[in-house]
Chains A and B, each alone.
Chain A
Amino acid sequence: MTDRLSGVASAPVSAPPAEWVDAALLAGDDAEVCLHMGRPVTRQELRALVGQQQDMLAGAGLAAGGTAVLVLPPSLTYVATLLAAWRLGAQASLLDHRLARGEIERAMSRLAPQVAVTPTQVNGTPMSGYAEVLPAAARQPAGRPAGTPHALIQLSSGSTGPSKVIARTAADLLWELDRYAQLSEYPGRGERIVLLASIVHVLGLVGGLLHSLHAGVQLAFVSRLTADGIREAVTGGSEPTMILGVPFHAELLTATASGRPLPQLTRMVVAGELTRPGVPAAFTRAYGVPLGSMYGMTELGVIATDLSGLHRPAVAPAPGITVRVGEGELQVKMDASPYVGLVDPTRWNGGWLHTRDAATVDPATGLVTILGRLDSQVSIGGLKVDLTEVEQTLCAVPGVASAVVVFGDAIEAYLVLDEGGSIAGVEAALTEQLASYKQPRIMRALRQLPRTATGKIVRDRAVLRAQASAQ
């Protein structure tokens, strides 16, 4: 296993901002197809598009050391704009376009970008894996330049108060790309990845988009995010192909396996949450290839992998990654804190990132077994949601007196309404405040929340459900 510092040292960390993007992501033959979004996109075309977006951003006043926020759906425009911002030497913040208006307003206020890039026109449906976007770059009068040397800013779902601001430098991204390059089972030049994970979040962004550009892998997006649409994307090229997604996608493909062979398919790899027992074996029976898994975090990217499903449910630390378990929690060696504006020793302390995941490490093999969360974070299709954030948002909705949010197979809310309040009214208000994937799938009104003898709110789903049914 290599030391982290050696990985960093091999990256061009001292190069001017534009050069790391050109050297690590955009270099390659003009005619090489690097992306496929309904049509092939060559490196020559991508470079031209990045140049256009650079002009657009510079026209809005973005320069080296500046800040831009992207609120764009997955699209060629998104890819080109992100690379353009980095090429200018600016700091790019990524906001999921599915966030609710209130969430975006709060994030913009927090991040204070100098330039905001939003779509003026979007062609594509929610069933598509990508969209066609006409963007606009707007100068923000109250925007501030970058206060840190980070290239990438992402927000997490927060358990206490506002979201955490997670920041990564170009060197850190290059270190992650170096880790992917050292994984011999991960696709390399001449191969393809069919990407089902969002390129706004770390798995799809680095494991899909940036790795593909870096390693000469063709990255294919699906026109329809149904099982048939995914299979069509796999058969859309002749190269050996890996599907990259979340466990839901593996279940979808397994449940609807048609028996039609997919000769290009070499493996599927999922991340973002634990895979249900039985799914990997069923997937392999259906498609004749392994279902592998990866474990990672927004703060650091890929941490551990089991790309061929040989160690399930354990995963092996990625090259250069050092882990340990302290008080039952998995910790990962990380020289600098990934958080901006947050001094929380329970998150990062003394060169160790605290994952909040319970885990064990086999002393003989070093394999890591993730056991589950130690806090209130859950994963919805690979997207992290903190139940505390949902509960706090719900409690702040006019008409809600009190609420409890719990998780079984989906987010469930049990609430006491003020006089005149209604479930429909609460649901309507929540759409303005929470992204769709964070909203409770089940919402029940109770006359009062069940409490223990000492007055604590009961968070047992069975008790809450029974009380809702009894009314």
Chain B
Amino acid sequence: MSEPEDMSERRAPSRDEIVAMLATLGDRPIEEVGDQIGSLELTWLVTQIEERYDITLDLSDEDLSRMMTVSGAVTALRDVLAEAGRA
């Protein structure tokens, strides 16, 4: 049975999906994406997430601090999107 079309947008992004979004910055291969997320990559990621979920993220300093690594971004976005009722 196929997944409903909007299901992918109803769950928080996985680690692979976040890495893939980061890789679109500069059209990099996925293996070029590091563990650390700099401020430009963070801006890029937030923009990508907001566009995908059609949402303006309300991110606290603490959320942004958690998103400075790929692993942290996975859990922070899961929490933020759940709180916003988007995942």
Q: Is the interface of A mostly helix, strand, loop or mixed?
A: loop
CB-defined interface of A443-465 with B at 8 Å, one 1/0 digit per residue? 10000000000000000000000
Q: Is the CB of B40 within 8 A of A226?
A: no
Q: Is the CB of B26 within 8 A of A441?
A: no
Task: Report A-chain residues with C-beta under 8 Å of the C-beta of B61.
Answer: 125-126
- Whose C-beta in chain A lies nearest to the C-beta of B28? A409
The answer to whether residues A441 and B43 also contact, given A127-B64, A251-B26, A409-B28 and a CB cut-off of 8 A, is no
| A339 lies within 8 A of chain B by Cβ | no
CB-defined interface of B43-70 with A at 8 Å, one 1/0 digit per residue? 1101110110000100111001000100
Q: Is the CB of A381 within 8 A of B47?
A: no
B39 partner, pick from A412, A427, A437, A442, beta carbons under 8 A:
A437
The 3 closest A-B CB pairs, nearest first, are: A441-B34, A442-B34, A226-B47
The answer to whether residues A441 and B64 also contact, given A127-B43, A256-B51 and a CB cut-off of 8 A, is no
Q: Is the CB of A436 within 8 A of B38?
A: yes
Task: Report B-chain residues with C-beta under 8 Å of the C-beta of A386.
Answer: none
Q: CA–CA, A255 to B43, complex, Å? A: 13
Q: Is the CB of B39 within 8 A of A441?
A: no
B43 partner, pick from A226, A408, A412, A443, beta carbons under 8 A:
A226
Q: Is the CB of A125 within 8 A of B47?
A: no
* A residues whose Cβ falls under 8 Å from a Cβ of B: 98, 125-127, 224-228, 248, 251-252, 255-256, 276, 380-381, 408-410, 412, 427, 436-437, 439-443
Task: Report B-chain residues with C-beta under 8 Å of the C-beta of A251.
Answer: 25-26
Q: Is the CB of B47 within 8 A of A227?
A: yes
CB-defined interface of B12-47 with A at 8 Å, one 1/0 digit per residue? 000000000000111010001011111111111011
Q: CA–CA, A228 to B26, complex, Å? A: 19
Q: Is the CB of B36 within 8 A of A226?
A: no
Q: Is the CB of A409 within 8 A of B26?
A: yes
CB distance from A411 to the nearest CB of B (A): 9
Task: Report A-chain residues with C-beta under 8 Å of the C-beta of B24.
Answer: 255
Q: Is the CB of A125 within 8 A of B26?
A: no
- Whose C-beta in chain B lies nearest to the C-beta of A276? B26
Task: Report A-chain residues with C-beta under 8 Å of the C-beta of B48.
Answer: 256
Q: CA–CA, A439 to B38, complex, Å? A: 9
Q: CA–CA, A251 to B22, complex, Å? A: 13
- List 5 interface pairs A-B (beta carbons < 8 Å), by A numbering: A98-B39, A256-B47, A427-B36, A436-B39, A441-B38
Q: Is the CB of A248 within 8 A of B40?
A: yes
- Whose C-beta in chain B lies nearest to the C-beta of A278? B27
Task: Report B-chain residues with C-beta under 8 Å of the C-beta of A409.
Answer: 26, 28, 32
* B residues whose Cβ falls under 8 Å from a Cβ of A: 24-26, 28, 32, 34-44, 46-48, 50-51, 56, 59-61, 64, 68
Q: Is the CB of A410 within 8 A of B34?
A: yes
Q: Is the CB of A437 within 8 A of B38?
A: yes
CB distance from B18 to the nearest CB of A (A): 14
12 further contact pairs, Cβ within 8 A, besides A126-B39, A126-B42, A225-B43: A125-B64, A224-B56, A228-B47, A228-B56, A252-B44, A255-B47, A380-B38, A380-B40, A381-B38, A410-B38, A436-B39, A443-B36
Q: Is the CB of A127 within 8 A of B51?
A: no
CB distance from B21 to the nearest CB of A (A): 10
Q: CA–CA, A437 to B39, complex, Å? A: 7
Task: Report A-chain residues with C-beta under 8 Å of the C-beta of B42.
Answer: 126-127
- Whose C-beta in chain B lies nearest to the C-beta of A228? B50
The answer to whether residues A252 and B34 also contact, given A126-B64, A228-B56 and a CB cut-off of 8 A, is no
Task: Report A-chain residues with C-beta under 8 Å of the C-beta of B44.
Answer: 248, 252
Q: Is the CB of A226 within 8 A of B25?
A: no
Task: Report A-chain residues with C-beta under 8 Å of the C-beta of B40.
Answer: 248, 380-381
Q: CA–CA, A410 to B24, complex, Å? A: 14
CB distance from A442 to the nearest CB of B (A): 4
CB distance from B17 to the nearest CB of A (A): 16
- Whose C-beta in chain A lies nearest to the C-beta of B23? A409
Q: Is the CB of B39 within 8 A of A226?
A: no
Q: CA–CA, A409 to B50, complex, Å? A: 24
Q: Is the CB of B50 within 8 A of A127?
A: no
Q: CA–CA, A250 to B77, complex, Å? A: 25
The answer to whether residues A381 and B39 also contact, given A226-B47, A251-B26, A412-B34 and a CB cut-off of 8 A, is yes
Task: Report B-chain residues with C-beta under 8 Å of the C-beta of A410.
Answer: 32, 34, 38
Q: CA–CA, A380 to B76, complex, Å? A: 25
A439 partner, pick from B36, B43, B46, beta carbons under 8 A:
B36
A125 partner, pick from B25, B37, B59, beta carbons under 8 A:
B59
Task: Report B-chain residues with C-beta under 8 Å of the C-beta of A439.
Answer: 36, 38
CB distance from A468 to the nearest CB of B (A): 11
